[in-house]
Amino acid sequence: MRILKALKKEPIDRIPFWYMRQAGRYLPEYLQLKGSDSFLELAMNPKKAIEISIQPYKRFRMDAIILFADILTPLQAVGIPIEFHEKIGPTLKYDVFNKDDLKKIKNFEPEKQVFYVREIIQGIKNYIKNINDDNVALIGFSGAPFTLLSYLVEGGTAKKFEKTKEFMFNFEKDFHHLMEDITNLTIEYLKFQIQSGVDLVQIFDSWGGILSYHHYEEFCFPYLKKIIKNIKQYVPVILFVGNNAHLVKLLSLLEPDCISLDWRVEDITMIPENIAIQGNMDPLVLFGSSERVKKETLNILNKFSKRKNFIFNLGHGIYPNTPLHNVEVMVQTIKEYRLNE
């Protein structure tokens, strides 16, 4: 698999690529398949989730298929009420001071509660086997503890995260207890995906970048360290933290197999050579002209391909109204790029 070879610095014929949120709302075939189903209903429907996962590969032939699911899947599985609303996102009902709610996080049984995830993973693996493409990897994923906690505390997506930081700074003991419980849940969830057949995993700390370097070190670092140490003995681990330019040095100390960079990161010299890098095009570049898309793609390839362990990706998820022809330009530019240039 091209991505796994790149992570190990083994010889590859070209730069491997995939992109975040590659399955979903920007694809007409996704919208057609979705129908009236909510996001959660799609993620829990193995037949549809398998098809949604492989739709981008059918169109663009990238080097990885990522499991179609949501980072809130394990939270919903333990009995936390979650609803998805168009243009609003998820809403959750959870009380961080309620003993019954706190017990839910501790009672995660993936074999019983997210059995459909295994069916989806195995369905994707069967598809990969049938197309006989040895270069296609299957990526599993989870949310990071801080991001999952923020959803629980805020009751959904937030802009300023006042409730999260109030909980973090005023109720430190409670915060750390909940982070520990979510960490254990996350490890079990990722192990379940690995046992089901994924080739590597990515941890999404979507909201981690709202914290300063020192607050991330104090409140997040120990928990991510525990997850990465537990999981990388089985499969490679990619770590993505949103808005991570100020955290790159700290993320390197976590020793993931790969760090996913956003488009604000310029200096990669602080990342040890044994840690791969992934990224890092601004997804909104894809709204520019085709010439601009090709230029920006080449700029990233020229800058980062000198490392033997580079994976091309976007610096964040692809947006719903992204012009498909520009995605095609980006993909074609990557595929035509020669490593000896």
Q: Tell me: the pLDDT tens digits for 186-245?
A: 999 999 999 999 999 999 999 999 999 999 999 999 999 999 999 999 999 999 999 999
Mean pLDDT, range 73-86, rounded to an integer: 91
- Looking at the predicted structure, is the pLDDT value of residue 38 above 60? yes
Instruction: Please name each of the domains of the chain with its CATH number.
Output: 2-336 (3.20.20.210)
pLDDT at 37: 87
Q: What distance in Å separates the CA atoms of residue 289 and residue 326, rounded to the nearest whole number?
A: 8
pLDDT at 56: 97
With cut-offs at 50, 70 and 90, classify the pLDDT of residue 40.
Answer: confident
Q: What is the pLDDT of residues 274-310, one digit of tens each?
A: 999 998 999 999 999 999 999 999 999 999 998 899 9
Residue 57 amino acid letter: Y
Is the pTM above the cut of 0.75?
yes
Share of the chain above pLDDT 90, in %: 90
Q: What is the pLDDT of residues 242-256, one digit of tens each?
A: 999 999 999 999 999
- Looking at the predicted structure, is the pLDDT value of residue 341 above 60? no
Q: What distance in Å separates the CA atoms of residue 102 and residue 121, rounded to the nearest whole number?
A: 29
Mean pLDDT, range 253-274, rounded to an integer: 94
Tokens of residue 153, six digits: 């505390």
Which candidate, 306, 315, 304, places its Cα nearest to that of 19?
315
pLDDT at 231: 98
> Rounded to whole angstroms, what are the CA distances from 335 to 62, 245, 322?
9, 28, 20
Mean pLDDT of the chain: 95
- Asked if 209 and 248 touch (Cβ cutoff 8 Å), the reply is no
Our CA angle for 163, 261, 19, nearest 5°, is 100
Cα Dmax for the chain = 60
With cut-offs at 50, 70 and 90, classify the pLDDT of residue 340.
Answer: low
Residue 276 exposed, middle or buried by CB count within 10 Å (0-12, 13-18, 19+):
buried
CB atoms near residue 267 (< 10 Å): 9
pLDDT at 84: 83
